[in-house]
Structure 1
Amino acid sequence: MTATAMKMEDVPGPSSRMLTLLSLLQVHRDWPGDQLAERLEVSPRTIRRDVDRLRELGYRVDALRGPAGGYRLAAGSDLPPLLFDDDQAVAIALALAVAPASGADIADSAARALATVRHVLPARLRHRVDAVGAVTTAGEVRVDPDVLVALSESVQRRELLRFDYRPDGDDRPPRRVEPYAVVAHHGRWYLLAWDPERDDWRTYRADRIAPRSRTGVRFVPRAVPGGDPAAFVAARFKGSEADDAWPCVGSVTVSDEGATTLAPYLPPDAVVEASEPGRVRITLGSWSWTGLAGVVAAFVVDVRVEGPPPLRDAVAALADRLRAASSG
């Protein structure tokens, strides 16, 4: 039973009542004083005393003006004790457990936070978290969390961002862009921005960004193509302009036995379906027809190209190149 579902008979004393009050303040932005008093079946004076106790514990509870008055839980300067229901507590613990795989350089902090959360979990919840047995490792590329915070703040402020960018160790002049989103994609973090000098959208690896001092210059935001920054970044990595889809898609057929052999090695977005008797159609995509021909050539079974024509041409051209290469 969560704190918000408690009835008065479940709240024998001030401490338990304060937990219920805190839970109510956390899930509702503004609470009139008389509604809180009615909900907890106490007097408005008791509510005022309980609010004062919460403030002494570090919670910033603002008083609302008006005929009936009221209260609002606001962000404070310190981190007070927090109250979570069972599902929230498990979600936080699991998120901390897999944090090292996020690409942000927070493995040590996440491990310490997880140990703290796990220590205070009831046995029934600790068992649920431990049963998952998540084992993760930090990726080869990690991003300073301070950089992620700086980029995100620029996005929220709609402020031009100046930064040094050193791909592959090459020094280049500082960039000046309009930041729109910080996106996590396949274990790495990217900044999606509009580059006025190139008059185009650009993605920058966050681990290669060194933010400079704030510019203080605001910009008028433009619409991200497709409206979804994460989908737009994913599309760019597929060679597509806006849609999160491969620009080149083709199909081949293999025998039933061949399909069984290839199954563990096919890309996650490959479509496998029955074709003619004894054969299976595999549809997959790539950033170019040459790239897709290379994927098909890597199949270790006999393949029949079904189409479209650009894929047949690319496979034929690749076959000619391989024959020429093997002839010495």
Structure 2
Amino acid sequence: MTTRRPERLVNLVICLLATRHYLTAEQIRRAVPGYEADDGTDRAKEAFKRMFERDKAELREIGVPLETGRTSAFDDEDGYRITRNAYELPPISLAADEAAAVGLAARLWHSAALGGAAEGALHKLRAAGVSLDEHAAVPLEPRLDSGEPAFGACFAAATERRELRFDYQRPDGSDRTPRRIHPWGVVARRGRWYVCGYDLDRGAPRAFRLSRFAGRVKAVGPTGAFERPDDLDLVSMVASAGPASEVTARIRVRPDAAEGLRRVGKASADDVDLIEIPLSDLESLADRVTSFGAEAIVEEPDQLRDAVIGRLRRLAAMPSASVKNGPVGAGGAE
């Protein structure tokens, strides 16, 4: 898939922010997705040159401090970098309504490919021996689901400062529980939306993930029913929240297979092919296990096993369903 120009420009900025040294045009060409591949022809070289010149001009036009220079006296051509101090904005303080507006605008960000491509560019630079400033790397968020059903009601309740009522499902898929909160705001973290506020039943601040809401979300009572804390930091509130469940999923994988599951979990002390993964999101983990086909079988908990089996049944019911990784077994995947 061709990388769109805005994505290529952001990838370029991330690469140049992350390096301590000047990168030559050829290093940039190899690291940043979207540039004309070098097939040895003059046409490809000229196409890259024109594209790179346009990108440099556009970055400078919008105020990006693109520097040109050489890392050492032994370099035979100029390179490029962006100094973090010159690039960063000064500290920004937003009022509650301004922060809410920024959060709503972020809801329109649809660039899963951007995050993956930009991180890939950094990996390529490291592999090429380029020294990277880890503290200068720009944190990347995966795509946010702008279709989260509970978003509108939560955002409106937080804006109007009305009590919010909803049913909430635990990560392990157990029974729903009714919750009542004073919503302070809605925030995104690591590709997930959360509403943060004061839990009226538990008498303490809490953060709730919108994807775990079940049924209807309802705002009740008058507007302006509560005040937000003066030192409110929604992102820190979500980041510091402990896991909602101590449930651990145990998944048996074939020897020397299912490397993706091995990376996100850890092997049991007694069996290297029994992978233990904290169950923070049942639906997401069920999707992941299903994608590994017959290489993975859920041993526990039952809720995860049932979720995987449900996916397998839906696949089996599809007219042209095909099994990619081998035969399907109970608790396995396609």
Calculate the TM-score normalised by the size of structure 2: 0.35
Higher relative contact order (CA 8 A, sep 6+): 2
Calculate the TM-score normalised by the size of structure 1: 0.35
Larger Rg: 1
